[in-house]
Structures are given as structure tokens and as C-alpha cells.
Amino acid sequence: MDKKLLIVDDQNGIRILLMEVFSSEGYTTYQAANGKLALEIVRSESPDLVLLDMKIPGMDGLEILKHIKAVNPDIKVIMMTAYGELDIIKEATELGALMHFTKPFDIDEMRIAVNMQLKGGAMI
């Protein structure tokens, strides 16, 4: 299994946590603190799934999502968001995001969701 996962969040602690969790699941993980770097990784590595924070300085999550889908519409995207950004979540879903997690999220729920997207299987 050679699945690639990109974690995009401006909070270093969240990136490190998610990198550790998903590396131990056997995924090749990449991280980016901003949209510019995230899109460079999308172009060079073509990850299978992107965990994308909504609020990133410089280029917000929706803008990054649009760019990811323009580069490769097959890349799966799961959004991470602060509480209560329902209008943004709706727009993200319309743009092709599969689901979202509200921070602080349950790491086990996210792990299950990512594994289902990348390894296949029924939605819980």
C-alpha cells in the first residue's frame, strides 16, 4: 500500500500529530503550513488524500481546495475547520470535499475516515 497523504495546517502541533498518526498507519505523509507549499506538493507528489484546514494565512482552505481540484480532480480532500463555519463547509462540499472534521477533532474518528477513503470499505 503506497498511499500518500498531505496535511495542510498552519498549526505545527496539529501537523505533527497527524503526521505521526498517519505515518504509523503506513501512509507516506507530507505536510504544508501554507497554500503555496501545499500546491507545490500536490503538483510534485500527487497525494491520494489531503487533510486541509479551512483557515490558513495567505490562501484560505476553499481557495486551496479549488486549486487542488484543478490540478487533479481525483485527489480526495477532507476539510478541518473551527466550530461553526457551516457556510464554508457547504461551499467546500460543493467544490468536492468529501467531509469535514470540526476542531478539536477525535483523532480516532479521523483515522477511521482516512482509512476508509484510502483503503476502501463502507462508510460508518
User: What's the confidence (pLDDT) of residue 68?
Assistant: 98
Identify the band that residue 88 occupies on the pLDDT scale cut at 50, 70 and 90: confident
What is the overall mean pLDDT for the chain? 93
For the cut 60, the answer to whether the pLDDT of residue 103 exceeds it is: yes
45: number of Cβ within 10 Å = 12
Of the candidates 6, 1, 102, 109, the residue with the CA atom closest to the CA atom of residue 54: 102
For the cut 60, the answer to whether the pLDDT of residue 121 exceeds it is: no
Of the candidates 61, 27, 47, 51, the residue with the CA atom closest to the CA atom of residue 105: 51
